[in-house]
Amino acid sequence: MLEHWGYLRNQGADTPWLPRCHAELCFLDLFPSWPLDQEKQYRLTWYISWSPCPDCVRKLVEFLKKNSHVSLCIFAAHVYTYIHGLRDLRNAGAQLAIMTRNELQHCWDTFVDSQGQPFEPWPNMEEQIQEQSQQLQTILRNPEN
């Protein structure tokens, strides 16, 4: 399968002439221009700083329902505690996980303009990853919240 690499970033925070738009929604605007065969299956892998916000979740759920030929795997560094939305996203077929140290380093090496600086794990990084991962699993597992 042909792989596409690249990144999108939030628009409008540092460019006042553009309307504010999260990277997830920038992707949804870009997606229709891709010449994809609806008879084939496609897997998208996203590495994002934070799990999607409520507005993005709602639109991503709609997107996944309309595009059954696309699966989405999201690796986030941090999780918003938008409980029902994250469950809705998972129930729409998205896979959700917290990035591991190796995935964080991969993002640094692949997408960050690091000016040649090596990836530097921060203090307590492994513990924070475990806490974020546990928080996400609790959200996805516990239907009572």
Which one from 24, 62, 103, 127 is the annotated catalytic residue? 24
**What's the CA gap between 13 and 15, in Å, rounded?**
6
Q: Is 24 marked active-site?
A: yes
Residues 6+ apart with CB under 8 A from 37: 69
Tokens 């065969």 -> residue: 37
| Contact yes or no for 59/29 (Cβ under 8 A) | no
Residues 6+ apart with CB under 8 A from 53: 22, 80, 82
Tokens 């995935």 -> residue: 103
Rounded to the nearest angstrom, the gap between the alpha carbon of residue 76 and the centroid of all alpha carbons in its chain is: 6
Half-sphere exposure of 82 (CA within 13 A, CB side): 17
Q: Catalytic residue numbers?
A: 24
